[in-house]
Amino acid sequence: MGIRLGDIAPDFEAQTTKGPIKFHEWIGNSWAILFSHPGDFTPVCTTELAEVARRAPDFEKRGVKLIGISANGLEDHHKWVEDINEWGSTSVQYPIIADADRKISTLYDMLDEQDPTNRDAKGLPFTIRTVFIIDPKKVIRLTLSYPASTGRNFDEIIRVVDSLQIGDKYRVTTPVNWKKGDDVIVHPTVSNEEAKTLFPEFKIHKPYLRTTPLKVE
């Protein structure tokens, strides 16, 4: 059975470009994003890793740690990071997990078993390009899987982090295409009487749909 939302993220030990880690210990009390790549020296993933390095301050101010994983060894990872930094004019500071034996990819159900072309020279399946958002309690809060041909949208991933963090703090949910600063939806568990105190400017559109402005940093 694959990993589902609400599951505890499986713990593991791994070698990374920043040294050995124990995953839960590495997360600590932070949020974390684990994102996988089919292999090193791949064009789409090179652009993604550069973008994540460029956006690192946006994740840091949200208390989010970043960690990549790719189905190669550390020697290849270090060479690839040099390419990424050169191409993206950036500096990759987050760790990348070495997973040449696919143990962690198997643990997280990230192997592409369906596409016969997505395999290495030894015939081992590459990882599906997946994103996991994990909260400080080590709970899986989001999973996204992308086809090999499509680069990930990290604006959307940051948007989801904002939504999850705001929802946890303020008893709200977020509507379609929501961005930080937009009106939010009052959580269904909040009564109208509570809402008058919590959200003095809330509006009732339908008995089940109430919105309110929410000022957040």
175 vs 153: CA distance, rounded Å: 19
Q: Supply the pLDDT for residue 113.
A: 61
Q: Supply the pLDDT for residue 215.
A: 87
Q: Supply the pLDDT for residue 56.
A: 97
35 vs 72: CA distance, rounded Å: 14
Q: Is the pLDDT of residue 129 over 90?
A: no
Amino acid at 202: F
Q: Where are the beta strands (DSSP E) in 99-139?
A: 129-134
| 81-107 per-position pLDDT tens digit | 999 999 999 999 999 999 988 899 889
Greater pLDDT, 31 or 106: 31
Cα 173 to Cα 40, 105, 141, 169, 198: the distances in Å are 38, 31, 14, 11, 14
Q: Supply the pLDDT for residue 188.
A: 96
Q: What is the DSSP string of 37-72?
A: ES-TT-HHHHHHHHHHHHTHHHHHTTTEEEEEEESS
The DSSP 8-state label assigned to residue 95 in this structure reads -
Q: Supply the pLDDT for residue 147.
A: 82
Q: What share of the chain is helix, strand, coil (3-state, %, to 5)?
A: 30, 25, 45
Q: Is the pLDDT of residue 204 over 80?
A: yes
- Per-residue pLDDT, averaged over 152-170, amounts to 96
- Per-residue pLDDT, averaged over 40-59, amounts to 95
- Per-residue pLDDT, averaged over 122-150, amounts to 87
The residue whose two tokens read 């159900």 is: 109
Residue 120 binned pLDDT confidence (cut-offs 50, 70, 90): low
Q: Supply the pLDDT for residue 63.
A: 98
